[in-house]
C-alpha cells in the first residue's frame, strides 16, 4: 500500500486539495483511505465522505498532535489496509512550524498558502524543508509578483522539492497531484520506519498539566531566555522609526540557556 503524509498550517487548504485529488484517483479506479489527525474537533472526515472517499478522524485532545500521530501511525495503517485501500493518506492537524511528521521512504507533502506572509517559508521547519512536494494554495488572491517571490522563498528553504500552485475549489493542479499520489512508494508496513527529523522536544512540567506560572513550577526540559537590558526610550528615535526612517525603536536582544533537568 502506498503511504503519503500531508502537513501544513491550519486552514491552508489541505483537505480541499486532497479531497479533489483522491476523487480523481477514485475515478481512475484507485481506492484511497484518508486518516485525519486533528486536535479538538474536525469535520474533515465528513467532507471526505461527501466526496465518496473512505476517511476517519482521530483527535489528540490535550496532546501534541505530532506525537499523537507517531504513536497511532501503526493503527492508522492497519485501519487503511483493512479498507482494501491501495493508498493511505495521512493528513495531520494544523501543526506548529517546528513539527516533523514526514517519514523516510514515504511520499511527503507540505501545503502552505500565499496569504501566510512573504516570510512564512523561512519560519517553517522540517515539514516544509524535508517535503518532497510543496503545494501552494490561495494564489488567486495575490498578484503574480507575490506568487513568484513566495515561490522563491520556498525554494530557498527546500532546494529539491517539487513546487506547485494548486486550488482545491477550482481543481487547478489537482490532476497532477493525483498522478503524484498514484506513484508514491509502495510500502509493506510502517513498523520500524523512521521520521525524517526529530520531533520537538517537550518533556516539562507543563506537558504534565502544570498551569501555574513561575520558575518554581518549571521542571524537566526547560529553555530560559536571558534578556539583555533594553536601552532607555528615545521618543524622537521611535517617531523616526515609525515614519520609516533610521531611528532606533529601542529593541533589545535575548539569548537562551537550557535547563535540561529543571531548577
Q: Which of 7, 164, 170, 179 is nearest to 87 (CA)?
A: 179
pLDDT at 152: 97
Query: Which structural domain range is residue 155 located in?
Result: 2-182
Q: Are 201 and 223 in contact (CB under 8 A)?
A: no
111 in Cβ contact with 135 (< 8 Å): yes
Are 19 and 50 in a shared domain? Answer: yes
Lookup: cell for 27? 475515478
Q: What is the pLDDT of residue 263?
A: 45
Residues 235 and 116 both lie in one domain: no
Instruction: Specify the range with the lowest mean pLDDT, choosing from 67-71, 88-92, 129-133, 188-192.
Output: 67-71
Hey, is 28 helix, strand or coil? coil
Task: Kindly write down the DSSP assignment for every residue of 9-24, as one continuous string.
Answer: STTSSHHHHHHHHHHH
Predicted local distance difference test score (pLDDT) of residue 240: 62
- The number of distinct structural domains making up the chain is 2
Q: What is the pLDDT of residues 81-129, one digit of tens each?
A: 999 999 999 999 877 888 889 999 999 999 999 999 999 999 999 999 9
Does one domain contain both 66 and 160?
A: yes
Report the distance separating Cα 28 and Cα 34, nearest Å. 17
User: Is residue 200 assigned to a domain?
Assistant: no
pLDDT digits (tens, 9 = 90+) for 38-57: 888 888 888 899 889 999 99
Whether the pLDDT of residue 202 is over 80: the answer is: no
Q: Is residue 193 part of a domain?
A: no
Can you give 189-214 as a three-state secondary structure string? CCCCCCECCCCCCCCEHHHHCCCCCC
pLDDT tens sequence across 162-173? 999 999 999 999
* pLDDT at res. 55: 94
Other C-beta atoms closer than 10 Å to the C-beta of 12 total: 22
CA distance 42 to 36: 9
Contact 244, 211 (CB under 8 A): no
**H/E run at residue 215:** none
- Which residue carries 532606533 as its cell? 248
Q: What is the pLDDT of residue 45?
A: 86
When pLDDT is cut at 50, 70 and 90, the band that residue 200 belongs to is confident
Whether 140 maps to a domain, the answer reads yes
Mean pLDDT confidence for 145-174: 96
User: Can you give the CATH number for the domain in which 105 is found?
Assistant: 3.40.50.300
Question: Which cell goes with 43?
Answer: 469535520
* 171, 238: one domain: no
Mean pLDDT, the chain, rounded, equals 87
Residue indicated by cell numbers 465518496: 52
Residue 95 burial class via C-beta count within 10 angstroms: exposed 0-12, middle 13-18, buried 19 and up: buried
Q: Is the pTM of this model over 0.85?
A: no
Q: What gap in Å lies between CA 143 and CA 134, rounded to an integer?
A: 19
Nearest to 61 by CA among 42, 41, 91, 39: 39
The answer as to whether 229 is a domain residue is yes
Q: State what percent of residues in the chain have pLDDT above 70.
A: 86
Element spanning 32, H or E: strand 32-38
Same domain (yes/no): 89, 161: yes
251 and 168, same domain (yes or no)? no
My answer on whether 67 and 135 are in the same domain is yes
Residues 137 and 253 grouped into a single domain = no
pLDDT in tens, 225-249: 777 766 666 666 666 656 665 555 5
Amino acid at each position: 500500500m502506498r503511504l503519503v503524509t500531508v502537513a501544513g498550517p491550519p486552514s491552508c487548504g489541505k483537505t480541499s486539495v486532497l479531497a479533489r485529488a483522491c476523487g480523481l484517483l477514485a475515478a481512475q479506479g484507485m481506492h484511497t483511505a484518508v486518516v485525519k489527525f486533528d486536535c479538538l474537533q474536525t469535520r474533515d472526515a465528513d467532507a471526505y465522505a461527501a466526496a465518496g472517499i473512505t476517511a476517519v478522524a482521530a483527535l489528540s485532545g490535550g496532546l501534541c498532535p505530532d506525537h499523537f500521530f507517531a504513536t497511532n501511525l501503526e493503527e492508522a495503517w492497519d485501519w487503511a489496509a483493512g479498507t482494501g485501500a491501495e493508498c493511505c493518506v495521512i493528513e495531520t492537524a494544523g501543526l506548529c512550524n517546528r513539527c516533523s511528521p514526514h517519514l523516510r521512504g514515504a511520499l511527503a507533502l507540505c501545503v502552505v498558502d500565499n496569504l501566510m506572509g512573504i516570510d512564512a517559508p523561512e519560519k517553517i521547519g522540517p515539514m516544509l524543508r524535508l517535503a518532497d512536494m510543496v503545494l501552494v494554495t490561495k494564489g488567486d488572491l495575490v498578484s503574480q509578483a507575490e506568487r513568484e517571490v513566495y515561490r522563491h522563498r520556498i525554494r530557498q528553504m527546500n532546494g529539491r522539492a517539487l513546487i506547485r500552485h494548486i486550488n482545491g475549489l477550482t481543481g487547478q493542479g489537482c490532476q497532477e497531484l493525483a498522478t503524484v499520489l498514484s506513484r508514491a512508494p509502495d510500502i509493506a508496513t510502517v513498523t520500524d520506519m523512521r521520521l525524517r527529523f526529530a520531533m520537538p522536544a517537550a518533556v516539562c512540567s507543563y506537558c504534565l498539566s502544570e498551569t501555574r506560572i513561575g520558575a518554581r513550577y518549571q521542571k524537566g526540559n526547560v529553555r530560559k531566555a536571558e534578556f539583555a537590558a533594553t536601552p532607555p526610550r528615545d521618543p524622537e528615535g521611535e517617531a523616526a522609526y515609525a515614519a520609516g526612517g533610521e531611528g532606533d525603536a529601542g529593541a533589545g536582544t535575548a539569548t537562551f540557556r537550557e535547563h535540561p533537568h529543571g531548577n
